[in-house]
Amino acid sequence: MSAPLRVGVAGLGTIGGGTVRLLRENADLIAARCGRPVTVVAVAERDKDHAASVDFGDAELLDDGLALAERPDIDVVVELIGGHGGIALELARRALGGEKHFVTANKAMIAHHGQELALAAEKSGVTLAFEAAVAGGIPILKAIRESLAGNRIRRVYGIFNGTCNYILTAMRDSGRPFADILAEAQALGYAEADPTFDVDGVDAAHKTAILAALAFGQRVDLDAVRTAGIRDLAPVDQVVAAELGYCVKLLGVAEDTGAGVVTRVEPCLVAADSPIARVDGVFNAVVVDADFVDRTVYQGRGAGAEPTASAVVGDLIDIARGGGWHAFGVPAGRLEQAKPAETALLSSAYYLRFAPNDPRGAIAGIAAALNEAGVPVANMFSDRAPGSVIVTTGTAQGAAVEQACASVAGSMALAGTPVRMRIEEF
């Protein structure tokens, strides 16, 4: 059997602890599949009490993660600290510059600095791997980069944030409001104490930007992702969606329109009988539409110690086998500047909800604003929830719908911002 692949792990939190445990518990299986052992020789964790709760075997405990990049007895640095800058980024730069392979679950760092790190890896002749950064245990990056490499991809979309999916599922099933379910998700550990990145769509935007880069051979462009979250949604939105044959999901979408690439994260109505509508709770799902394979669907746990550790260890196994690959499927220097298409020019049907002070009296004004903007009305409800007028439209450009909503907001007193969701017909 060949010499071990020697690993240093920075961060022994949920994912770090899971990674170390997986490498320990399945050591014989991993060695047999790699033809060599994968051995953790050092771990870095500043919180000594927390480190004491993790069984990292004979590995040396360090309090400085950056030291892993300097050690000659480490072949691969695994970064599980988090954050798009700071020590995580410095560790990545030092490890790759020092000709060490680098594995991370850090979607924020890849979304902000992916091309820089990919160029550094190629210059040093090592591998940058981040399967765990998108959709946890679902091997979607590997599928796009390798299994679907011969296909021209038209669109990648899916449920990329388990916290939001849990909240929307519970809102649909229980009828409880957003705030109550968010508090429950925090108590269960599905949501952070500060849930901003999750519920405002930022986490899903990071993942959407990474998927777009891999699917379309473009530079990671987080700024191009139009992002909306789920804070303003209410149980009535799920109720009416169900009456119409839909359910509400927070989707990340990356699509080549022919005129450019659109990347967006937003709550949408999806057909209740579609595969993605059946993905509930904390699960994630990714759908890839391509020319020769048509449609492939991937579903699984998108977060948590074990699924994410599985993805990290999958990258380590590929490295141990001697596999080398370009982080984004093509040499980093050949990644093209994205040609973004304006999201507002996309056409679809829409679900709109307004909260006027006088719902019945507001119906005529809402209808007039939509008509003036050229947005056809399909249905209008004023009896589904107290204080609400709900409209579904025919197909219209996003810019026209946005104009109509702004006109309504400017012409009458509303409680809160109008809710606007695309009705997707994937």
For residue 107, indicate whether it is catalytic. Answer: no
Closest to 255 in 3D by CA, of 343, 379, 371, 135: 343
Q: Report phi then psi at 424, rounded to 5.
A: -85, 140
CA dist 9 and 43 (Å) reads: 5
Closest to 50 in 3D by CA, of 82, 9, 11: 11
Which amino acid, 191? A
Helix intervals (H) in 348-395: 359-372
Q: Rounded to the nearest 10 degrees, how much is the dihedral formed by the CA atoms of 56, 59, 61, 66?
A: -110
| b/e 253-286 (16+ beta carbons within 10 angstroms → b) | bbbbbeeebbbbbbbbbbbeebebbebbebbbbb
Neighbours of 217 (CB within 10 A): 15
Across-strand partners of 410?
A: none
Counting Cα atoms < 13 Å in the Cβ hemisphere of 324 gives: 10
Find the catalytic residue in 107, 207, 249, 339: 207
Give the burial class of 240: count Cβ atoms within 10 A of its Cβ; 0-12 exposed, 13-18 middle, 19 or more buried. buried
Place of tokens 């939105």: 237
Cβ neighbors of 183 (< 8 A, separation 6 or more) are none
What is the side-by-side order of every strand in the sheet holding 5-10?
60-62, 38-44, 5-10, 76-79, 101-104, 128-129
CA dist 282 and 356 (Å) reads: 34
User: Quick one: tokens of 251?
Assistant: 């989707």
Question: Torsion-angle region of residue 239: left (phi > 0), alpha (psi -120 to 50) or beta?
Answer: alpha
Distance of CA 212 to the CA centre of its chain: 11
Q: What residues act catalytically?
A: 207
